[in-house]
């Protein structure tokens, strides 16, 4: 029986998370002072800010008026959907290193603790794991502090209270958090005042107090404080399970009415979606574009490439063509991109098979054609289940999963339709077509088969009532033709509808 390995935890915290959730999708604001306001006007106050704003003298809790007096500060309203989308991205980063993840809450920060016990063989020693985790998180657009240690709560407290990467050696938990203020325990205000009166400022000073005397004066909860400050607290791990969803969302403080500005933001969102799909060896099979517009309008389009793709430039080009062909009818308030994951497609070409064009080129060509003639006029025709003439719809092109079977070559009569049907003057004998004139030639009918009656949609203004005849005729030049003649009873017209070849 093998001995169980010691537990090992990795905790990371993204401080000022409301600001990070917005800035990760706005690289143009990384060098500017940004503050996030929460609350209802006129009682809005700063709930999060970046480092540039802090250097300008901003602080949490300042009102909008106080911030505007400083000048040069980019203000944004807090967006819960944007934060939820960013939280999902952080959770996906963590899931690359461990399936056991517990979320920890701390003011305006977002934090997770990973159970990485036994992962050293996969990712290396603790410092290497921390560096790999930090690189993954930075690639996703976040700045975090990371700590790895043997005790859950010690690791969590250290990651929250320090910057950069920290690895706590075994049996050094109490020393690692000795200089951290007791505020890290999130005590009640009354208990803070009591400890302050006793001169207790740090966890190290709290850890030196005798447990029996402290419990007698404060209560049983003081025993937990001591275990936390000494790095010996027990914890029952409570992992969370999050569904995989490829979604990016951003809300704009200043509404966007320029397509170029919208595509600039969309480019970063597509890059994030592709990177997240790559982490799971997946591609983007479709991209749903949703926008909230001014005047409570909504916009939604679906981009579906012929084959799943992870080509960022190609997907951005499809987005550009789609928005160019169907521009929003008002300024954009928020933008959401939702991707559907698909498997990567690999095609093995034959040795003597000619090189075919890339599927991405076909998609771009189709998108440009749709922008020119309309999306309802580009695709593959599909017949409808009806007897009405020219009843078909245009469906999007699809790459078949399997090649179509080769049918035996047979000889068939082809029917060449006249578009539009050509009106003719008709003479009837014995209730059959006998002679008709198409405006140029006169035709004598030799054989007539019919009539075949077709009618439908009597409940609609587009109903029809037709009588069809297949005839063989000879014109005044001695030429023989086979044609389809149609008698439109509703409009009292005879039409030359098709020729048999």
* pLDDT by 10-residue block (mean), the chain, 501 residues: 68 94 90 92 90 92 91 90 92 92 85 93 93 94 95 94 93 93 88 89 92 88 92 91 85 89 92 89 91 93 86 91 90 94 68 63 78 78 78 73 59 80 91 89 91 83 86 90 91 90 80
CB 221 within 8 A of CB 206: no
Give residues with Cβ within 8 angstroms of 341, minimum separation 6: 244, 246, 277, 280, 282, 283, 284, 285, 308
Give pairs for 458-462: CB < 8 Å, separation 24+.
none
**Using CA atoms, how far apart are residues 358 and 176, in angstroms rounded to an integer?**
57
Two tokens at 421? 């049907």
Residue 104 three-state SS: strand
Q: Cα separation of 276 and 91, whole Å? A: 11
Sheet holding 101-106, edge to edge: 101-106, 109-115, 9-14, 145-149, 165-167
CA atoms of 12 and 104, how far apart (whole Å): 10
Q: What is the pLDDT, as a whole number, of residue 247?
A: 92
Domains of the chain: residue spans and CATH: 9-169 (3.40.1170.60), 245-345+359-399 (3.30.1490.100), 415-500 (no CATH)
Contact 34, 67 (CB under 8 A): no
pLDDT digits (tens, 9 = 90+) for 131-155: 999 999 999 999 999 999 999 999 9
- Rounded-to-integer distance, Cα 424 and Cα 483, Å: 12
Tell me which residue has tokens 């914890």. Answer: 235
A 10 A CB-CB count for 469 gives 20
Q: Which helix (H) or strand (E) holds 434?
A: strand 432-437
Taking the mean position of all CA atoms in its chain, how far away is CA 122?
Answer: 30
For the whole model, what pTM was predicted?
0.70
Rounded to 10 degrees, what is the CA torsion of 86, 88, 94, 96? -120
Q: By the 8 A CB rule, do 102 and 112 touch?
A: yes
What pLDDT is attached to residue 145? 95
**Per-residue tokens: 213:** 């005397």
What is the structure's pLDDT at 223? Answer: 92
Q: What is the pLDDT of residue 76?
A: 92
Q: CA 491 to CA 211: how far, in whole Å?
A: 101
DSSP characters over 38-92: ESSTTS-EEEEE-HHHHHTT--TT-BHHHHHHH-S-EEEE--HHHHHHHHHHHHH
From residue 222, alpha-carbon distances to 32, 153, 212, 227 in Å are 44, 16, 9, 9
Nearest Cα to 370, choosing from 328, 422, 325, 403? 325
């Amino acid at each position: 029986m093998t001995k169980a390995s010691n537990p090992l935890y990795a905790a990371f915290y993204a401080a000022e998370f409301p600001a990070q959730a917005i800035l990760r999708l706005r690289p143009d604001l990384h060098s500017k002072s940004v503050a996030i306001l929460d609350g209802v006007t006129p009682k809005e106050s700063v709930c999060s800010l970046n480092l540039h704003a802090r250097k300008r003298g901003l602080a949490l809790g300042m009102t909008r008026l106080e911030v505007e007096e400083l000048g040069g500060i980019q203000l944004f309203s807090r967006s819960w959907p944007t934060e939820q989308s960013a939280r999902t991205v952080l959770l996906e980063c963590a899931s690359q290193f461990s399936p056991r993840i517990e979320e920890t809450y701390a003011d305006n920060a977002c934090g997770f603790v990973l159970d990485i016990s036994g992962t050293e063989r996969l990712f290396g020693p603790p410092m290497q794991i921390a560096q790999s985790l930090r690189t993954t998180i930075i690639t996703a657009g976040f700045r975090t502090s990371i700590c790895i240690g043997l005790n859950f709560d010690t690791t969590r407290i250290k990651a929250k209270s320090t910057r950069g990467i920290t690895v706590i050696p075994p049996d050094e938990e109490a020393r690692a958090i000795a200089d951290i203020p007791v505020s890290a325990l999130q005590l009640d205000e009354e208990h803070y005042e009591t400890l302050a009166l006793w001169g207790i400022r740090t966890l190290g000073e709290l850890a030196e107090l005798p447990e029996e005397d402290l419990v007698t004066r404060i209560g049983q909860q003081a025993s937990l404080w001591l275990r936390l400050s000494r790095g010996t607290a027990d914890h029952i791990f409570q992992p969370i399970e999050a569904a995989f969803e490829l979604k990016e969302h951003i809300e704009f403080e200043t509404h966007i009415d320029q397509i170029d500005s919208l595509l600039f933001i969309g480019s970063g969102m597509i890059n994030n979606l592709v990177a997240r799909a790559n982490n799971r060896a997946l591609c983007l099979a479709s991209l749903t574009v949703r926008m909230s517009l001014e005047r409570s309008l909504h916009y939604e389009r679906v981009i579906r490439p012929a084959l799943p793709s992870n080509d960022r430039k190609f997907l951005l080009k499809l987005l550009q063509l789609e928005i160019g062909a169907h521009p929003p009818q008002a300024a954009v308030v928020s933008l959401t991109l939702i991707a559907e994951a698909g498997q990567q497609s690999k095609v093995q070409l034959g040795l003597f098979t000619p090189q075919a064009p890339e599927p991405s080129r076909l998609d771009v060509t189709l998108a440009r054609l749709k922008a020119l003639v309309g999306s309802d006029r580009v695709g593959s025709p599909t017949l409808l289940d009806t007897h009405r003439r020219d009843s078909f719809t245009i469906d999007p092109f699809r790459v078949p999963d399997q090649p179509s079977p080769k049918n035996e070559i047979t000889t068939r009569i082809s029917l060449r339709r006249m578009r539009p049907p050509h009106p003719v003057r008709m003479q009837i004998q014995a209730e059959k077509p006998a002679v008709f004139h198409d405006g140029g030639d006169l035709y004598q009918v030799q054989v007539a088969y019919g009539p075949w009656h077709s009618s439908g949609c009597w409940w609609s203004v587009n109903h029809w009532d037709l009588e069809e005849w297949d005839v063989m005729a000879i014109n005044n030049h001695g030429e023989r033709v086979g044609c389809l003649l149609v008698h439109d009873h509703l409009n009292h017209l005879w039409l030359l509808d098709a020729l048999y070849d």
